[in-house]
Structure 1
Amino acid sequence: MKLRIGRRLGLAGAALTAAVAVVASPAGAGQALAAADHGCFDRAKEPYTSKVDSHLHFRPFGGKAIPFDELTGYLRKTGVQHASMYGIGQTLPVNSSCTYYLDCPGTPVVPSMKNDFVNAENWLETKPEDPELAVSMTFMDLAKPETIPAGIALYDKEFPGVFRWAGEVNVVKQALFPNHHKATTTENIKHWAPFMKVLRERGIPITLHSDLGSDAEPTKYLPLMEEVLRRYPHNKIVWAHMGLSKELTKMDPDRHIRLMERMLGEHHNLTVDLSWRVLEDAYFSKPGVRAKYAAFLDRHPTRAIPGTDFVASANKDYKVYEEELEVTSRINKALGDEAFRDIALGQNYFRLLGINETAPRVCEAAAR
C-alpha cells in the first residue's frame, strides 16, 4: 500500500510499514523512499522541498488563472500536502490586458472580493484532502478598515466556515506604488481593532505584506509593523518575506537578522514567512549568508513557515511551480533537524491553523 510522505505519519508513527512512491523533482524525490517502516523522515533519502506551501496565490492579478484541478495536481506531484489558498486581493481592472501589475504602471490595482469568491467556490466543489487547503480572505483594504467587518460578515453568509486564513494583504508594498497603492498609516492601523478582534476570536492567522524599506532607506517602514504588533499582541500575525522585497536586496544580512531576532523576541505572536525567491536570490545564496539565516532559524525553530509566493496565472505551468518550490526550499537543507521538522515538514503551520496534524519526527543521523 502506498502512502504519502508525512501525511498522517505523525499520527500513525511506527505502525506504518509501507514504502512511499514519490514523484521525481529537482530535489531528488524520484529516488526517495519513505522512512515509514521506522516512523521518521529520513533527510538523507527524502527530498528537502517543503511539504507545506503557506503562501500560494491560486488567482492572478489579472487575466486567466491556472485551473484549480491543474494547480492542485502540481502540489500532489511535488509532494506538497498542505497549502494556504490565497487569492490576490489587489486586482487589475477587468478591461486590462495585463496579468501582472508591474507591466502596467499607472493602472490602478485595488482590493476586490472577486478572487476570494472564486477560490471558495472552487474549494467547495471538491473539498480536497490531498492537498489539504486553507482558504484565505484577501479582500481587505487595510487603509479602509471600516469596510472589513461587513466584508467578513458577507463571507460568513455566503461561505460559512470556509475561510480559515487572512491575507496576503498589504500594509505597504512599494512595488505597487506606480499602481496607486499607498502605505497604510498608523491612524489606519489604530482602527483595525474590530476586524482583528474577529480574527483573534476565530484563531485566524493574518499574513501581512509590510516592506521594511528600500536599499536607500532599509527600515523606513519598520514603524508600521511595530505599530501593528504593539496594538494587536494576541493576533496570529505572519510577516510575509521577513519584510524583504525587490526594493530591498542590499541590506546587511547581519543587520536584518538582528532586527528579526529583536522582533521575534518582543512579539511572541509573530511568525515570519520565508516565501518568495527574492530571499534565496538576493540573500540566502550569497557566500556565507545561508549559514547565518539557518542559524537564526535554528535558534527560533517554531517561528517560521515556508511558501513559494507562486501566482497562478495561466501563462505559467508545472515547471515554473516546481522551480519556485525548489528555490524557496533550498534554505531547508541548511536547517537543523528541529527547525527542518517545524518549518519544512509543517509543524509550525499546523500549530498556526490549530489543525490536528503532526509532522513526522526526523530520523536520527546514525540511522540515515
Structure 2
Amino acid sequence: MLPVQKHSGTPQPGSQRSLASFALATDEQACYDRATEPYTAIIDGHFHPQPFGGAPIETQEMFTYFNKLGIRFVNYFGIGQVLELKSGCTYYLDCPGIAAQPSIKNDFINGMDSVEYPHPNLHITLSMTFPDLAHPEDIVKTIQLYDKEFPGMFKWAGELNVMKQALLANKHEPATLTSIDGWAPFMQLLRERNIPVTLHSDLGNNDNPTEFLFLMQHVLETYPDNKIVWAHMGLSKELTSMDPNKHVAIMKDLLDRYPALMLDISWDVLFNAYHQWGDIFIAFFNEYSTRILPGSDFVAASTKDFNQYAKEFDITSRALKAIDDEAFRNIALGENYFRLLGLNYHAPAICETAADEPAK
C-alpha cells in the first residue's frame, strides 16, 4: 500500500512562495523541491468563506490562515443553501427540518468582501452558488443581476447540488432528468464565458453505491462541452464502503468519454478511501493527473479556528504526498487550475533528485 499517512496533529508549514512567483514562466521560477517544501497544495479549490448560518470567520483573519498554509489561490464557494435566518442554526446536520434553500446572500457577501479586502498575495476566484438546479428557470436572469452588480467578477459556478443526501432532511430538492434538461440556457451561458461549474452529485450510498449515478451521466451526456467539476468524486458520508476498484472504474470511464470533465478531491470523506486503498487511488490520480483539482471543503464558521482549517487542509492534501512528480505539479502546484481558468500563472518545475539523474 502507498504511504498515505494519518494526520499527525501538527499543521504542515506552508509554502513561502509568493503569488507573484507563479506569474513567472516555469523556467524562470526556482524548481520545487519536494524533499524540503510542503506537500500541501498552493490552491484551495473548494472553500466556503460563509457558513450555512451564523457568523463567518472574519475575512482578514482567514487571510492569515491562507498565508500560514502557503495558499495563494482560493475558490470562494458561497454556501448556496442558506439556512432559515430566524433559525439561529449554523450547520444543517444539527438542524433537521430547518430549510436550507438556494440563495444569492452568500455570493453577494463574498463579492463585497473581495473588493473591501484585497490581498496582494492571494488570488480569489468568485463563484456563483445561488442556482437551484431543481428549478432552473430564473438562473440566467439572476446571472444578469450579478453582471450588473459585480461586472466580470464571478468566474466560476458552484458548488451546486444535483443530489446531496445529507441535505434531504433540510428540504433539499434534488435535480431530476427533466430539470437537468432545463439547465440548457444557463449552461450555454457558462460555455460562452468559459466558466467551470462544480457539481455535488452523490454517487450513491452504502446500500446502493451507484443509486444516483444516472443523474451525473445524464448531465454529462446533455452538456459534454461544459467544464464540469464533479465534487468529491461522488463520495459522501453516506457512501463509505464502495469497492474502490469499481469506484475508480466508473471515474475512468466517464473521464475517458467526457474530455471536459474534471474531478475534485476535496472533503475528508475521500481520505478515508484513499488512505485505506492508497495503491488503487494514488495510481488513479497519477494516471489521470491532468483531470484532478485539490480543495479542503472547509466551511468557515466563526466557531472554527486555524487549527481546524489546517487539519482539514492537511488531510485533504495527504494524497498529494504520495503522487508522482508530474501529478504533483499538475494538481498541488496548480497547473490544472491555471489551465482550466485560463489564468496567466504557471506551476514551477519539480527539482530533479539524485535518483533522477542519469548514471555516468
Do these two structures clear the TM 0.5 threshold for a shared fold by scoring above it? yes
SS in 2 for 1:40: coil
Match of 1:75 in 2: 66
Tell me, yes or no, if structure 1 residue 312 matches structure 2 residue 300. yes
Contact 1:302–1:348 (CA<8 Å) still a contact in 2?
yes
Deviation string, structure 1 residues 5-44 (Cα, Å, up to 9, x no partner):
675347255656xxxxxxxxxxxxxxxxxxxxxx210001
User: What pairs with 1:282-301 in structure 2 (closer than 5 Å)?
Assistant: 282-286=272-276, 289-301=277-289
Tell me, yes or no, if structure 1 residue 223 matches structure 2 residue 214. yes
Deviation string, structure 1 residues 261-319 (Cα, Å, up to 9, x no partner):
11101111100000000100x21121xx1121111011111000000000000000111
Match of 1:155 in 2: 146
Equivalent position amino acid for 2:253 in 1? R
Equivalent position amino acid for 1:134 in 2? T
Question: 1:119 offset after TM fit, Å?
Answer: 0.2
Unaligned runs of 5+ in 2: 1-14
Equivalent position amino acid for 2:340 in 1? L
Question: 1:367 offset after TM fit, Å?
Answer: 7.8
Match of 2:198 in 1: 207
Question: 1:156 offset after TM fit, Å?
Answer: 0.3
Tell me, yes or no, if structure 1 residue 321 matches structure 2 residue 296. no
Match of 2:8 in 1: none
- For 2:25 and 2:297, how far apart are their aligned partners in 1? 31
Question: 1:71 offset after TM fit, Å?
Answer: 1.0
Deviation string, structure 1 residues 151-188 (Cα, Å, up to 9, x no partner):
10000000101101100010000000111112210000
User: What pairs with 1:78-97 in structure 2 (closer than 5 Å)?
Assistant: 78-97=69-88
SS in 1 for 2:140: helix
Question: 1:231 offset after TM fit, Å?
Answer: 0.8
Contact 1:291–1:334 (CA<8 Å) still a contact in 2?
no
Contact 1:302–1:339 (CA<8 Å) still a contact in 2?
yes
Match of 1:359 in 2: 347
Contact 2:16–2:70 (CA<8 Å) still a contact in 1?
no
Tell me, yes or no, if structure 1 residue 176 matches structure 2 residue 167. yes
Unaligned runs of 5+ in 1: 17-38
Contact 1:169–1:207 (CA<8 Å) still a contact in 2?
yes
Tell me, yes or no, if structure 1 residue 336 matches structure 2 residue 320. no
Q: Which of 25, 44, 47 matches 2:35?
A: 44
SS in 2 for 1:44: coil
Which sits farther off after the overlay, 103-112 or 126-135?
126-135
- For 1:171 and 1:263, how far apart are their aligned partners in 2? 17
SS in 2 for 1:249: coil
SS in 2 for 1:76: helix
Q: Which of 222, 226, 231 matches 1:235?
A: 226
Paired residue total: 342
Match of 1:11 in 2: 24
RMSD of equivalent CA atoms: 1.5
- For 2:293 and 2:39, how far apart are their aligned partners in 1? 14
Match of 2:11 in 1: none
Equivalent position amino acid for 1:248 in 2? L
Change (3 A) 1:13 1:264: closer
Change (3 A) 1:213 1:58: same
Equivalent position amino acid for 1:291 in 2? D
Question: 1:78 offset after TM fit, Å?
Answer: 0.3
Divergent runs of 4+, >6 A? none
Question: 1:73 offset after TM fit, Å?
Answer: 1.7
Contact 1:6–1:41 (CA<8 Å) still a contact in 2?
no
Match of 2:256 in 1: 265
- For 1:6 and 1:144, how far apart are their aligned partners in 2? 39
Deviation string, structure 1 residues 34-71 (Cα, Å, up to 9, x no partner):
xxxxx210001111001110000010000000111111
Q: Which of 178, 185, 207 matches 1:187?
A: 178
Q: Percent identity?
A: 51
Which sits farther off after the overlay, 4-13 or 120-129?
4-13
Contact 2:43–2:71 (CA<8 Å) still a contact in 1?
yes
Contact 1:6–1:360 (CA<8 Å) still a contact in 2?
no
Contact 2:49–2:300 (CA<8 Å) still a contact in 1?
yes
Equivalent position amino acid for 2:46 in 1? H
SS in 2 for 1:208: strand
Contact 1:113–1:138 (CA<8 Å) still a contact in 2?
yes
- For 2:291 and 2:325, how far apart are their aligned partners in 1? 15
- For 2:264 and 2:26, how far apart are their aligned partners in 1? 28
SS in 2 for 1:302: helix
Match of 2:90 in 1: 99
- For 2:251 and 2:245, how far apart are their aligned partners in 1? 10
Change (3 A) 1:44 1:149: same
- For 1:302 and 1:238, how far apart are their aligned partners in 2? 12
Question: 1:365 offset after TM fit, Å?
Answer: 2.4
